[in-house]
Amino acid sequence: MKVVIASDSYKGSNTSIKVAGAIERGIKKVDPTLDVVKLPVADGGEGLVQALVPDENKWIYVEVKGPMGESAKAEYALYGNDTAVIEMASASGLPMVPEDKKDPSMASTYGTGQLMKDALDRGCKTILIGIGGSATNDGGTGMARALGVKFLDSDGKEVEAVGGNLDSIADVDLSGLLPAVKSATIKVACDVDNPLCGEHGASAIYGPQKGATPEMVKMLDANLASLAKVMEKKTGQDMSEVPGAGAAGGLGFGLMAFTGGVLEKGIDLVLDSVGFDESLEGAELVITGEGRIDGQSVRGKVPVGIAARAKKKNIPVLVIAGDIGPGISNLYEYGIDAVMSTVNKAMPLKEALERSTELLEDGAERAYRMIKIGMDIKS
């Protein structure tokens, strides 16, 4: 029996590759004869570089400005002849900011722009950038500044734009944009489909986890709306409602508006790159997962993206998750057949993370034993 394992990373504990390995060991305790195909995947958030370029010899390390202006070392990878794979979280990610320093009104995507510039300076013609896991809410202005864009106030003075002062921007000078940006193909892997502003926008949905108070959320949302109006006046296009514009604190919007980037569902972009559809030939089961699954997972996350493709071929899909949140009954309409938690008893988060590999193996074994019972009954 052929089984395809294609799981996201488990944030804070295991990479996509390690998750797949643990699941394989678990199910083979039940049936050692299984023909297992493992594919590392990601949705545009954490794990994109590892999934597409597991060979760390092809990784490039760059000194950048972190989200709060600190010096940081970030990495991206070379994929094929002239493509760079970048995770914005490597340079501007939330885990880089200590809990007591979180402030999305001051955080910047400047370091992400530095990674892009380094890749372009090395001759890359295509940039595939994943934009999940950000600490920022600056609409991509920091990224744009690193690539030569200037933001001006009503007096024509340059603004060092961050989320808290976007409302002071009256004009955008694109004349200094790095020429290589204009000729490059920039593909943006989004792990969510939120618009830029409003109740489902960047600030309202993701601001609080980045440290924003309710009052700050309102301010940040208004500031992003102000930036969008300036760019609409500049370009004649309103990009604020494009699905994914609100990803990574509005970096999705910024990549479209300032660099001509094209937003794509991250999971679909990755699945195409790793040949997922081809791997389904002859498969009788797909196992996927992520660290946490809930009703929000329908918005571009790995399990739903995988289930959509497996469903077309009538292949059942099992999700193994570290944590199961509210609203998972909605997922069954999207091709997911069953959801299993790795956690087998009440335990602190710290313990669950430390024992993640062990729990994954155990959860996979338990899940497959149930599947085998069903197979035995059917036969």
Task: For the chain, give the percent of residues with pLDDT over 90.
Answer: 72
Q: What number is the average pLDDT over the span 234-241?
A: 95
3-state secondary structure of 27: helix
Positive or negative, the Cα torsion across 265, 267, 270, 275?
A: negative
Note the pLDDT tens digit of each residue in 132-173: 889 999 999 999 999 999 999 999 999 999 999 999 999 999
- Of 12-26, 68-82, 114-128, the least confident: 12-26
Q: How far apart are CA 251 and CA 355, in angstroms?
A: 34
- Higher pLDDT, residue 238 or 299: 238
Per-residue confidence band for 345, with pLDDT thresholds at 50, 70 and 90? confident
Contact 216, 105 (CB under 8 A): yes
Per-residue confidence band for 26, with pLDDT thresholds at 50, 70 and 90? very high
Contact 143, 255 (CB under 8 A): yes
Contact 331, 298 (CB under 8 A): yes
Instruction: Give the C-alpha distances (Å, rounded to integers) separating 321 from 20, 82, 149, 346, 371.
Output: 12, 35, 42, 15, 17
Q: How far apart are CA 246 and CA 60, in angstroms?
A: 28
Domains of the chain: 2-39+275-378 (3.40.50.10350), 48-267 (3.90.1510.10)
Supply angle C-alpha 180, 186, 188, rounded to 5. Answer: 150
Q: Which residues pair with 38 in a beta bridge?
A: 5
3-state secondary structure of 30: coil
Residue type, 295: G
Q: Is 168 exposed, middle or buried, given 0-12, 13-18 or 19+ CB atoms closer than 10 A?
A: middle
Note the pLDDT tens digit of each residue in 190-212: 878 899 999 999 999 999 999 99
- Of 106-115, 116-125, 293-302, 311-320, the least confident: 293-302
Instruction: Name the average pLDDT for the chain.
Output: 92
Per-residue confidence band for 230, with pLDDT thresholds at 50, 70 and 90? very high
- Higher pLDDT, residue 192 or 369: 369
Per-residue model confidence (pLDDT) at position 295 = 73
DSSP string, 295-356: GGGGTT-HHHHHHHHHHHTT--EEEEESEE-TTGGGGGGGT--EEEES--S---HHHHHHTH
Per-residue confidence band for 306, with pLDDT thresholds at 50, 70 and 90? very high
Per-residue model confidence (pLDDT) at position 12 = 67
